[in-house]
Amino acid sequence: MPGGSRTAAGPVDDRRLAGLIQPVVAAAGMDLESVRTTMAGRRLLLRIVVDSDHGVSLDDTALVSREVSATLDATDVMGDVPYTLEVSSPGVDRPLIEPRHWRRAAGRLVRVKAAAEGTVQGRVLAADDDGVTMDVNGAERRFAYGDMGAGAVQVEFGRLADAELDEAPGDELSGEELPYEADLGAGGDGY
């Protein structure tokens, strides 16, 4: 896990910190992806990233935040420096490195460098402990983890089907069709 930085008030023992946080996150049915500490003014900012096979909801992050905070407050691992705790899930830009990352990307379009082929883009069909099966240009392909670099999920923007576009209302709305009189100004003064 990526570690933190040393603070003016003294070092934070990142291994001890991760060692305390890991069981709390595991008890909530999640994986601890990273721990990072940085100074933010006079406070220490502790950012932890958690993930799970079912995703991470706001309720999940709130639960983990409460439990981690209680655990940290019961110890001296943070020293005398006041801290702010942030708990989040990995973003779409998280590199796919571990088998669990690839498994959780099932159905997603990814790009990865494959040793023998250069950059490959395809949809993840399945992932296990040995490698990934992807749909690459309509063909099912198998890649071993040792033959790939870190994968990157590709952001896909959906497009409405042509039939849905034909049914969408046009721009020709009359004042009679509006259920209320619209105030188009943010401040009510027309601007």
The predicted pLDDT at position 173 comes to 47
Q: Each residue of 62-98: pLDDT tens digit?
A: 999 999 999 998 988 888 889 999 999 998 889 999 9
Q: How confident is the model at residue 160 (pLDDT cuts 50, 70, 90)?
A: low
User: Worst-scoring range by mean pLDDT, 2-11, 54-63, 168-177?
Assistant: 2-11
Residue 102 and residue 110: Cα distance in Å, rounded? 10
The predicted pLDDT at position 78 comes to 85
- Mean pLDDT of the 105-115 span: 93
Task: List all residues 6 or more positions away from 51 whose beta carbon is below 8 Å from its beta carbon.
Answer: 30, 31, 33, 89, 90, 100, 104
Contact 98, 129 (CB under 8 A): no
Which is nearest to 68 in space by CA: 89, 44, 85, 49? 85
Residue 4 and residue 151: Cα distance in Å, rounded? 25
Residues of the chain with CATH 2.30.30.100: 99-153
CATH class of 99-153: mainly beta
The predicted pLDDT at position 161 comes to 57
- Mean pLDDT of the 158-180 span: 52
Which of 3.90.550.10, 3.30.1330.10, 3.30.300.70, 1.10.3720.10 is the CATH number of 14-88? 3.30.300.70
Residue 92 and residue 44: Cα distance in Å, rounded? 26
Q: Is the pTM of this model over 0.75?
A: no
Residues of the chain with CATH 3.30.300.70: 14-88
Q: Phi, psi at residue 153, to the nearest 5°?
A: -70, 135
Res 121 pLDDT > 90: yes
Specify the residue for token string 């933010």. Answer: 40
The predicted pLDDT at position 132 comes to 96
DSSP secondary structure of 6-67: -BTTB---HHHHHHHHHHHHHHTT-EEEEEEEEEETTEEEEEEEEE-TT---HHHHHHHHHH
